[in-house]
Amino acid sequence: MKRIKIFDTTLRDGEQSPGCSMHLNEKIEVALQLEKLGVDIIEAGFAVSSEGDFKSVKAVAEIIKNCSVDSLCRCVKGDIDASYNALKNAVAPRLHIFLATSPLHMQYKLKMSPEQVLERIAESIKYAKTLVNDIEFSAEDAGRSDKEFLVKAFNVAIKNGATVINVPDTVGYSTPQEMRALTEYLINNIDGIEKVDVSAHNHNDLGLACANSLAMVLGGATQIECTINGIGERAGNTSLEEVVMALKTRESFYNAYTNINTKEIYRTSRLISTITGVAISPTKPIVGANAFAHESGIHQHAVLSNPLTYEIVKPEDVGVPQNKIILGKHSGRHAFVEHLKSVGYELDKEQLEIYFAKFKDLADKKKYVSDKDIEALMTDNKKVTMTSYSLKDFSVTSSKNDAATASITINTPKGLKTATETGNGPVDSALKAVNKAVGNDIVLFDFSIRSITEGEDALGEASVKLGFDGNISTGRGVSTDVLEAALLAYIDGLNKLQDN
Ligand code: KIV
Ligand code: ZN
C-alpha cells in the first residue's frame, strides 16, 4: 500500500479565507494540534507577506518537532530569504515556491512569456536549494495549464533541486477524471519523477476538491494538500477530515493510507472553528453536528440493531465525544484524571488544579457530566493574566415591554470596574455594560450561541467576532447559563484584542 503524505495548509491557504485570520498564539496552538493529529507537513504561512506572518512562521518552525514546517514564497529572492530566515531553526524546513503556468495567468497576471517563466523557476529553485534541501515547487493554475508546458516547468524544477512537485487546481475548475489523467500524464512524462513526491492541491469552487484529490491519488499522487474544515480561498480547499477518512474508509479501494491519528480529527476541527469563529455546517461530512445523527425512526432502529446499517465511519474513530454520562459531582480527582487520560489529555499539576476546579463547578450546576461536557471544558482554555479582563459578577433584568438593564462587574488590570447599561435585550445591555466598564467602544460583528449538550442543564457555547481600532478577534465562552457564556465569549475576544 502507498503512503500518502498529508500537507496541512490551514495556517496559510486556510487563513486566506475571509474572516479566518488568526493571532500568533492561536497559530501556535493550531500547529501543536496539527502535530498531534499526525500531519506530515505544516504550511505555517507566507513569511514575506507581513511582519505578523514572519513571526508566526518562525514561532511554529521553532516549536514543532515531529513534522516538516514550510513557508510559501513567490519566485522572488526576497520571498525565499524571508521564508528561509523564518524557517532556519525548524527540525525539517521546507521552502514552498510557486509560479503560475497557465496561459491566462502568465499573460494577464505575470505578464511573462513561457520562456521567462521557465527561467524564473530555474533560478529561484537553484537559489533556494543553496539554503534548504527540501523544496516544493507549485505550478499555480496547473489545472488550466497546457500539459506539455507543465512537463517543461516541472522538469526544470526537478533538475534544479525540487523534491516535491505540486499540481494545483487553483480555481477549482477541473473534474476528477481530468485531474487523474493529468497526474498520470505528468508521471509518465517528467524526468526523474520517481525521486520526488507528486502533490494534489485542489480548491472547492465546484464542490470537487476532495474528489479531485482522491482521483489524483489513483493517478499516482503521493501527497495531498488540505485544510481543517476545508477553509481556504473562496469556496475553500480539500478538507483534511474528508480526504483522510475517505482513504481510511475505502483503504482497499485506494490501496493507500495516511499517518493521521484520526481520533484527533474532531478536536482539531472544533479548535479551528472556535479560533476562527467560523461555524461548521451541521451536514459537513465527518465533523458536522448531524454527521452521526439518525433522525428517521427506520434508521434509528436499524442502527441500534447494527450501526453498520447506516454508519460507514464510527464516531469514536474520529474522536466525536459521546453523550454518555461519565462523571458526576461526587467524582474525585482520580476519576477525572483517568477519564481525561482515556480521551487523550495529559495535564500538568497546575493545569489539573484549574480544570478540576472548573469540573467541580460544572458538576455542581449539572447533575451529570458527559463526554461532550468534558470536551467543551477542556477546549475552553483561556489563560487569565494580570493584564487581562475577567468576569466577576453580573445581573440582568429583561422584560417584553421595557428595555433590558445589565449591571456587570469586571476584574481589570486597574482593579474592579462596575457599569450599568440598558439595551435591546439582555445580551445587548450586558455587552454594552462591558464596553462601559472597560472604557472601549468595541464593535460586535458577529454573535452566535449553540447548545453543546442536550437537556435543560445543557452547556451553551457562545462565539463572538469583535473589532477595535482596525483589529479583529474572536472569542468563545461556555456555561450552563447562556448569558454568562455570551459575557465570557465577549471578554475572551476583548483579551485577544488587548494581546494584539
Ligand atoms: O491554489 C494555489 O494554487 C495555491 C498555490 C500557492 C499552491 O495555493
Ligand atoms: Zn491554494
Q: For ligand 1, pick from 17, 98, 173 the residue to mutate: most ligand atoms within 8 Å of CB.
A: 98
Residue 384 pLDDT > 60: no
Averaged confidence pLDDT in the chain: 93
Residue identifier of the C-alpha nearest atom 5 of ligand 1: 140
pLDDT in tens, 131-179: 999 999 999 999 999 999 999 999 999 999 999 999 999 999 999 999 9
364 burial type by CB count under 10 A (0-12 exposed, 13-18 middle, 19+ buried): exposed
Which residues have CB under 6 Å of ligand 1?
A: 13, 72, 98, 138, 140, 166, 168, 170, 201, 203
Of all ligands present, the nearest one to the C-alpha of 72 is 1
Q: Looking at the whole model, is its pTM more than 0.85?
A: yes
Per-residue confidence band for 377, with pLDDT thresholds at 50, 70 and 90: confident
Give the residue from 259, 328, 315 showing the smallest Cα distance to 285. Answer: 315
Measuring CA to CA, which residue among 288, 274, 273 is closest to residue 476?
274
Q: What percent of the chain has pLDDT over 90?
A: 72
Q: Which of 94, 85, 171 shows the shortest CA–CA distance to 133?
A: 94
Mean pLDDT of 40-68: 98
In angstroms and rounded to an integer, the radius of gyration of the C-alpha atoms of the chain is 25
Supply φ then ψ for residue 472, to 5 degrees. Answer: -125, 145
| Ligand 1 nearest atom to the CA of residue 96, by list position | 7
The C-alpha cell at 497 is 484584542
Give the ligand 1 atom nearest the CA of 140. 3
What ligand has the least distance to the C-alpha of 170?
A: 1
Per-residue pLDDT at 161: 98
> 3-state DSSP call for residue 406?
strand
Question: In this structure, which ligand is nearest to the CA of 199?
Answer: 1
Atom of ligand 1 nearest to the CA of 168: 3
Q: Quick one: which ligand is closest to 231's CA?
A: 2
Which residue's C-alpha comes closest to atom 8 of ligand 1? 13
> How far, in Å, from the CA of 421 to the mean position of ligand 2?
46
Task: Give tens-digit pLDDT for 207-222.
Answer: 999 999 999 999 999 9
Q: In this predicted model, what pLDDT tens digit does every residue of 428-443 receive, in sequence order?
A: 999 999 999 999 889 9
Q: Which residues contact 129 (CB under 8 A, 6 or more apart)?
A: 135, 160, 161
Give the position, in ligand 1's atom list, of the atom nearest the Cα of 170.
1
Query: What does DSSP say about strands 93-100 and 5-8: parallel, antiparallel, or unpaired?
Result: unpaired
| Alpha carbon distances (Å) from 437 to 273, 420, 446, 462 | 29, 8, 21, 21
pLDDT digits (tens, 9 = 90+) for 461-489: 899 999 998 888 889 998 989 999 999 99
Q: How confident is the model at residue 83 (pLDDT cuts 50, 70, 90)?
A: very high
Q: List, in order of start, the domains of the chain with CATH numbers.
A: 2-276 (3.20.20.70), 297-379 (no CATH), 390-499 (3.30.160.270)
> pLDDT digits over 311-322, tens only?
899 999 999 987
Q: Reduced to 3 states, what is the DSSP secondary structure of residue 104? A: helix
Residue 23 has pLDDT above 70, yes or no: yes
Residue with the smallest CA separation from ligand 1 atom 7 is: 138
Region for residue 119 given its phi and psi (left: phi exceeds 0; alpha: psi -120 to 50; beta: otherwise): alpha
CA 498 to chain centre: 23
Mutate to test the pocket of ligand 1, among 10, 15, 72 (most ligand atoms within 8 A of CB): 72
Pocket test for ligand 1, best of 49, 138, 164 (most atoms within 8 A of CB): 138
CA 303–ligand 2 middle distance (angstroms): 39
- Residue 165 CA, ligand 1 centroid: distance in Å: 12
Is beta strand 68-74 parallel, antiparallel or unpaired with respect to 41-45? parallel
Kindly state the percentage of the chain with pLDDT values over 70. Answer: 98
Q: Which residue's CA is the closest to the ligand 1 atom numbered 2? A: 170
Nearest ligand 1 atom, CA 72: 6
Whether the CB-CB separation of 430 and 401 falls below 8 Å is answered with no
By DSSP bridging, strand 197-202 and strand 223-226 are: parallel
